[in-house]
Amino acid sequence: MEAATEQHFFYHGKEPSGSKAAIKAFEKERDSCHWCQIRHFPNNKKAPITIVNDEDDAVLPSTFRFLQDSKLGSGVQAAEDSFRSGCECRDDEECQYRGCLCLQEQDDDSDDESQARKKVYMYHTHGSKAGLLRSKHLSSKRPIYECHEGCACSTDCPNRVVERGRKVPLEIFRTSNKRGWGVRSLVDIKRGQFVDKYVGEIITPQEAERRRNASDIAQRKDVYLFALDKFTDQESPDPRLRGHPLEIDGEFMSGPTRFINHSCDPNLRIFARVGDHADKHIHSIAMFAIKDIKRMEELTFDYVDGVSEEDDDAKDASKHGDMGCCMSRQRGQSSAAVSRANPEIIVTAAADADSSSASGPHTRRRRHSSMPLDKHINKPLRRHAWTSEGRAWTRASLARERTDFFDTRVTGRPEVWQTLHAALQVLWDPAGQGADRDGADGLATAQGILDAAEITLPTGDLAQGAYDGLGNYYPLAEWVVADPANIVEDDATIDGLDETISRDLKDDLAGGEETTEELDEEDNVRRREEKGKAVVDARDQASVLARLSETARDVTVKFLTSDSVRVVARKIQEESGLPATKKIRIAFMGKILKENLSLTEQGWKQGYVVNALVFDR
């Protein structure tokens, strides 16, 4: 560390001289110098970054490069200029109110809708707290919407806190308690103050997965990926927000926040920050202080913050020991670390104390300190409680869809899915599985099954997903994990429900098989088609490409948008030439579709591919 520092301060400020080869070598050395990279930051004079190591001879990774802002990787694009927009506020004060275009989507807790000019931006306006995040927002998960360079307001607009960049001088230092590198502030930081962003290379989900696999093969324990998933929504009209999100990789290029460590009692929290609304898919990750921080106090944030709104264990200091939290244990004790992340939440461990590489986040959070690198955060299993709001579930529908769910898993290891299924069967029916006498109504038995297979639960709630010993993530929907509180026991409550729910319930109680009414209707439709008497409007016609699970062959069939999934499945079977001993169930977006509803009623659109799952009758 000392040699690298001396080389920078004594030589890198000079102009290169000598042969072309010597000059080229000198420029390459200076370009890779961390001090030189930091010196070129626009805010370096007012808010410098320093690097110190008084503990050992470790230096920052030579392959690492400091960045001021994130860089778009291959295949990642910002929005076209024609889609960009900004507010037209000529007075900066207007950028605090609902009328500002940048704040149109900003959530607000106030119930007073009578105000003509409703202040909705998230910062304090006046006095010593000006520019600080309001207290009511510090514990929320809502995104921050700010003005940006495309707006008419000035650069001094009060709603450009993150836009203006870091104002806090930071120091990257070697920790004394065997946790690698850490970060601290050289000045006092106020509660609600913006500290810095997490930056890096923004990459596609495919490239992120490739890098994870490469890390596994190389047996590297450090992965520095943050998922930009705040606005991910399968139903979003923006195709960039559907499917797996982009990710920020800070392994080889990032800012000082890459080296921030974990704590169960953190002093920082991350927030999604949006500038131009057209760039939600590449929103910023901003870090704010959630308490007053004294100068030279280490900065930390909770790597598993945000796993669950209902997960209060992580906030309860009295439970930290049971949770296996690194910060709550004495030095030398083993503790749990998060391994592999899902598209929303978790992060991996960081550098070993003897390594020169720094700790870094993986899909939102990073490393716990002083824990074995082969250990994962594993909280005690707890029951998931929920109430269905968009659907009336029957026991028949739950049983059928749970069976379909486990029959259609194609990612992950089959033996892990089988183990998860076995543990869930104990939770669904402790008495039927002979586990009602374990003293915990099946929880202890299910926990034992998971532990034996080295399956870990970062939150203790299976509905938040599980991880196997290799770090693979296994997502589980809440209807798979537990019965809803408002489950419908039988068909006695069908009458009086709206038509859609009534149809769903009848289909559930029929176990997915055709009812007499449906068979008669299907036969009538077939006969009309065969006789050429069916009245067809060209606007109601559609075609779908179905991929058969048995042969991986693609089949295209035409149908009416009003046709039920059952009718479409029959046409696929006829077109594919499958024997009558086979039956087809259609799956879309990872879910078996209801056979009594149409494709369009269940989210399908023209051009989308469906899976035709072939079963024996």
List, by residue number, the catalytic residues.
198, 303
Task: Give the end-to-end CA distance of the chain in Å, rounded to a whole number.
Answer: 70
> Residue 112 CB: number of other CB atoms within 10 A?
7
Q: Which residue has the tokens 């997965």?
A: 209
582-588 and 609-616 strand pairing: antiparallel
The radius of gyration computed from the CA coordinates of the chain, to the nearest angstrom, equals: 28
Which of these, 417, 412, 449, lies nearest to 433 by C-alpha position?
449
Q: What is the DSSP letter of 257?
A: G
CB–CB of 582/614 below 8 Å? yes
Query: To 5 degrees, how large is the angle CA 380–CA 381–CA 384?
Result: 135
Q: What is the DSSP letter of 333?
A: S
Q: Which residue has the tokens 């319930």?
A: 505
Q: Where are the alpha helices (DSSP H) in 453-595?
A: 478-481, 499-509, 516-531, 565-576
Q: What is the DSSP letter of 594?
A: P
Dihedral sign, CA of 165, 171, 174, 175?
A: negative
What is the rounded CA–CA span in Å between residue 407 and residue 390?
24
What is the rounded CA–CA span in Å between residue 370 and residue 180?
9
Question: What one-character-per-residue DSSP string does 267-316 give?
Answer: SEEEEEEESSGGGGGG-EEEEEESS-B-TTPBPEE-TTTTS-TT-GGGG-
CB–CB of 174/108 below 8 Å? no
What is the rounded CA–CA span in Å between residue 533 and residue 90?
66
Q: What is the DSSP letter of 538?
A: G
CB–CB of 207/213 below 8 Å? no
What is the rounded CA–CA span in Å between residue 302 and residue 459?
13
**H or E element at residue 613:** strand 609-616
Dihedral sign, CA of 420, 422, 424, 427?
A: negative
Which letter, b or e, does each residue of 52-79 get, where b requires 16 or more Cβ atoms within 10 Å of its Cβ? ebeeeebbbbeebbbbbebbebeebeeb
Collapse the DSSP code of 214 into the 3-class scheme (helix H, G, I; strand E, B; otherwise coil) and give the result.
helix
- Inter-residue long-range contacts of 97-103, CB under 8 Å, 24+ positions, other chains counted: 97/121, 100/147, 100/159, 102/145, 102/146, 102/147, 102/148, 102/151, 102/159, 102/277, 103/145, 103/159
